[in-house]
Structures are given as structure tokens and as C-alpha cells.
Amino acid sequence: MSPRVTLRTAGRVLRQLRHDPRTVALMLGVPVLLITLLRFVFDARPETFDRVGLMMLGIIPFMTMFLVTSVAMLRERTTGTLERLLTTPMNKLDLLVGYGIAFAVAAAAQSAVTSATAYGLLGLDTGASPLLVGVIAIATAILGMAIGLLTSAFASSEFQAVQFMPLVVMPQTMLCGLITPRDAMADWLRVISDLMPLTYAVEALTDASEHGGATDLMWRDVGIILAAALAALCLGALTLRRRSS
């Protein structure tokens, strides 16, 4: 693995984004729009906005980065650039980590804009500092990136790639404790919920918020999220085959 090649790859991915200002505008603008919408949906119940808004700050980067990565990686596979990269001395890890860095940067920008709006303009009030929320948001973004990369191997067109979004993201969103506390679920569903990485993002956000700062449980959960991302990346690396039939 070469840090130079990894950074060049991250730079290349960010440059591709820069050439697509509409995607950048959507990435930065849509979360702001959604969180604003949420604020007025819960107009009469600010404490609910505080709870749900906080979770949205953690879940949105996951969704965005999942989508962007699965389509970007699918393009690498279908346009032959991936095959070309694999005939060069580049290590597979250079490619994966390069993508990871690029989308972590994008997620940080997205998270900064959304948080600034939520805390600054919409009066979001959470026990945890916006910076801490940002750290968790970047962890979930990296998770979304890793899972997107893995699922891109199972799609042969952009239509299919986009269809993985409801399959991968929706169940996690429903089971992670966002809609209803996990105690209220059927027992067997809680077991499934325990296996879904997004659950730990919600737990980390909630715990940090309740205790007014970083907690051991929060750091453990961030660790679980990153471990799940690493596992997905390793599985994704297996799908980057040099030889095909």
C-alpha cells in the first residue's frame, strides 16, 4: 500500500465530485431541507425535534454516502476503469481507503452544513456537543461508504444499485430506534436490530446526548460502527477481482 497513491485516489474522487456541482448541491442542500422540514413538523413539540433531529444528523450521512459510493463504484466497474486500475501496481487497499478518505471529507462538509443549520437556525438542543455529533456522523458516513461499495458488486446497472437503498437502508432505519424505542419492538426483532450497525449510531447519539458528552458506551458504539465498516470493506475488497471470465 502506498500513502501517495491512496491520497491521489482520494483527490481524484473529490475532483470528480467537483466536476458535478449539482450532486454537490444536492448532497449539501437536501439534508438541510429535510432537517428544516422536521423542525416544523414537530413545531409544537420541540423536545421531539431534539430527539429525532439528533438521530437524523447521524443517519443522513449514512444514506448519502451509501448511495454516492454504490453508484460511483458501479461506474468504476462498468466503464472499465476498475479493470485498468487493477492492471497497474495499485494495491486494492489504496483504492478502498482512497474512497473512504474522499467520502469522509464529503461527509464532514455535509455534516458541518446540516449541523450549523440545525443548531444555529432551527434551535436544535442536544446534550451532546455538535462536534461530538459530527464525529459520530462521520463514522456512519464511512459505514455507508463501505456498505455501498460492497453492494455495488451485486448490481449490474445503476437502476439496480439504487434499488439496494430501500433494501439496505430502510430496514435499518426502522429498527434502529428512530421511529420507536427498541424496547417496544417484538423480542425477535430486537435481536435483528442488535445485528444492524445503524442501531449503534442511534445508541451512541442518544447516550452522548443524555449524559451531556462523550461516554464509554458512545465510544464502544463508534468502535462497533467502524468495525462493521472495516468488515464490509474487506468483503468489498474480495469483490474487486483482477481476473474475470
Partner 1 sequence: MSSKENAIEVEGLVVHRGGRPVLGSITFSVQRGSVTGLLGPSGSGKTTLMRSIVGVQKIRSGRITVLGQPAGSAPLRNSVGYMTQAPSVYGDLTVRENARYFGSLHGASHWAADRAVADVGLGEAAGQVVNTLSGGQRARASLACALLARPSVLVLDEPTVGQDPVLRAELWQRFHDLADEGVTLLVSSHVMDEAARCDRLLLIRDGSLIADDSPEGVRRASGTQDLDEAFLRLVVESRGKGRA
Amino acid identity for residue 66 in this structure? F
**Distance of closest approach, residue 79 Cβ to partner 1, in angstroms:** 6
Q: Which is nearer to partner 1, 43 or 245 (CB)?
A: 245
> 81 CB contacts (<8 Å, ≥6 apart)?
75
C-alpha 150, offset from chain centre? 13
**Distance of closest approach, residue 240 Cβ to partner 1, in angstroms:** 12
**Distance of closest approach, residue 182 Cβ to partner 1, in angstroms:** 41
Look at residue 14 and give its three-state secondary structure: helix
Q: Which is nearer to partner 1, 187 or 242 (CB)?
A: 242
Look at residue 91 and give its three-state secondary structure: coil
Q: Which is nearer to partner 1, 45 or 84 (CB)?
A: 84
Q: Which is nearer to partner 1, 83 or 125 (CB)?
A: 83
**Distance of closest approach, residue 139 Cβ to partner 1, in angstroms:** 28
Binding site for partner 1 (CB under 8 A): 4-5, 8-9, 12, 15-16, 19-20, 79-81, 83-90, 242-245
Cα–Cα distance for residue pair 5/179, rounded to 1 Å: 42
**Distance of closest approach, residue 11 Cβ to partner 1, in angstroms:** 8
Contact status, residue 120 vs residue 202, Cβ threshold 8 Å: no
Cα–Cα distance for residue pair 50/52, rounded to 1 Å: 6
Contact status, residue 102 vs residue 13, Cβ threshold 8 Å: yes
